Amino acid sequence: MHANLRTMMLFFVLIVLFGIIGWVVGTYFFGDWMLGSLVFLGIAAAINIVSYFYSSKIVLWSYRAKIVTPAEAPRLHKIVQDICLKADMPMPKLAIVKTATPNAFATGRNKNNAVVAVTTSLLDILSDDEIKGVLSHEMAHVKDKDILIMSVAATIAGAISFAARMLWWNAMFGRSRDGNAWLLLIVAITVPIAALLLQLGISRGREYKADYEGSMIIQRPLSLARALEKLEDANKKRPIDRGNPASSSLFIVNPFRGQGIFNIFSTHPPIKERVRRLENLAQETGFLR
């Protein structure tokens, strides 16, 4: 409940920021703040509709993921079937990505259209219990419709960034109606940063929630903790060589590695903190596996 309320509050602030940037764009470009807000709201809605229906196909294509049958991947299907029985969820489609970077992600607009994908190297380096921990985390994302939530958050943040870019160029090279170029620059710089941080706050909050719910489904928080440590180490050594960094929030650990200050803007919370919380959960519940 606390995680859901926090997400709703972050979304509310994102929408407020969207309204601010729409008001400024409308005032300085259209002479009508309401028209500007409606234009960018329409753009965001169009992108959301496309994302809702086609994002899973785009993601699977970009990572060259292949849907596999029970005959092709019996170990994977058996593990996910066990998770679905415990979580009372329908069986998703399963896919495998051929890459030396061990990772996993879920996509799809709801539990009836979900696809859970793992990389070949994840199957190689993790035990069955650790794989179960990873996939229970992904099934928790499916259950909570996190893919849809993150798509909407990313769309709103993207629309804000696009509008801010317009303000930036207008302030630098155009003529504002009241000569308030500095005001435009301040809004163009600060609002997108705030939107990005809120988007990351939503993403990180959903990761913590999926860690908790996934661990409770299989009652093995330490299996997920050990898997996260292995995946974090492997992804640092060998980042993924395909796909788009914009999709990093889909993965259980960030497969794209930034350095220094860029780690502040990671879509994932620190692995050490995730492991600490899982270890505390194991102690609190007595699920010491």
Cβ within 8 Å of residue 193, ≥6 positions away: none
- Residue 234 confidence (pLDDT): 95
Q: Which of 138, 207, 213, 232 is catalytic?
A: 138
Q: How far apart are CA 82 and CA 79, in angstroms?
A: 5
Residue ranges of domains in the chain: 2-285
Predicted local distance difference test score (pLDDT) of residue 249: 77
pLDDT at 7: 58
pLDDT the model gives residue 146: 81
What pTM value is reported for the model?
0.76
Q: Residue 97 has what pLDDT?
A: 96
Give 3-state DSSP helix, strand, coil % of the chain, rounded to 5.
70, 5, 25
Q: What averages of pLDDT result for each successive group of 10 residues across the chain (289 residues)?
A: 61 68 68 69 71 78 94 97 96 96 90 93 97 97 81 64 66 56 62 65 82 96 97 92 75 75 65 96 91
User: Which residue blocks in 219-285 are alpha helix, DSSP H?
Assistant: 221-237, 271-285
- State whether residue 4 is helix, strand or coil: helix
Helix H or strand E encompassing 127: none
**Predicted local distance difference test score (pLDDT) of residue 108:** 83
Q: What is the pLDDT of residue 260?
A: 46
Q: What pLDDT was estimated at residue 262? A: 46
The pLDDT score that the predictor gives to residue 93 is 96
Q: What is the pLDDT of residue 34?
A: 72
Angle between helices 221-237 and 271-285 (to 10 degrees): 170
Start-to-end C-alpha separation, the chain: 26
Question: What pLDDT score does 174 carry?
Answer: 59
Annotated active-site residue 232? The verdict is no
